[in-house]
Amino acid sequence: MQKLLSLARAAAEKYDMIENGDKIAVCVSGGKDSVALLKCMVELNRFYPKKFELCAITIDPCFFGKEGDYSAIETLCVNSGVPYTVKRTDLYNIIFETRKEKNPCSLCSRMRRGLIHDTAKELGCNKIALGHHMDDAAETFIMNLFSGGRAECFSPVSYLSRKDLYMIRPLIFAYESDIEKAVRKENLPIIKSECPADEKTHREETKALLKELEKKYPAIRQKIIGAMQTGNISGW
């Protein structure tokens, strides 16, 4: 966790992610990235020079019509002194049963984002922390380049003027492997996704492509991030 903390602090300072008086909603899906982010933000809050408040939000898609069991996340939040909100939704029914989406990820992502934004505003937050890491950024850049012909990625910090909310990504300097090690070492609870599309996405294909390319081009993810920073792409 010490390495993640160091990387999160570096990202927060480089991109001015945190200011005094912020109330930050940590978006927790239950996967390793979001749970590691929650733990990291709790620890960062103990010593970071700018004082901020935390809460945690989970959007439950209610896969197959059943409420998800997030009790382990709730326990982690209680032990960490972080208020926790689970928003039950009808996302699964809308996307997979009613609309029968062939490519469900895009619609699901948009709908989840809207619910996260609304819930954060209801809780009085001015910022939302997301668990995207360096691998996610490199994959997103490649997906946009190869599929859409656009040299762009999500930003380290982005402002939603419609909602008056900032989105911050404190783990963008961390590799996915850094997060996996921290989760194992801290014995953090992981909630297995019940999504029917899990691990069958374009992102998984891109992840495999980068893994293959890295055999010939070492540290390719870091080089992509460096290129985005040098070119000031998407605010990097």
Quick one: pLDDT at residue 198? 66
Cα Rg of the chain (Å, integer):
17
The predicted structure's pLDDT at residue 192: 85
The pTM of the full predicted model, rounded to 2 decimals, is: 0.91
Q: How many CB atoms lie under 10 A from the CB of residue 30?
A: 18
Q: For the chain, give the number of residues.
A: 236
Within the chain, which residues score under 50 in pLDDT?
none
CATH superfamily of 2-235: HUPs (3.40.50.620)
Q: What angle do CA 207, 148, 229 make, to 5 degrees?
A: 65
Confidence (pLDDT) at 200: 61
> CA–CA separation, 39 vs 186, rounded Å?
9
Determine the distance from the C-alpha atom of residue 5 to the mean position of all C-alpha atoms in its chain, rounded to a whole number: 16
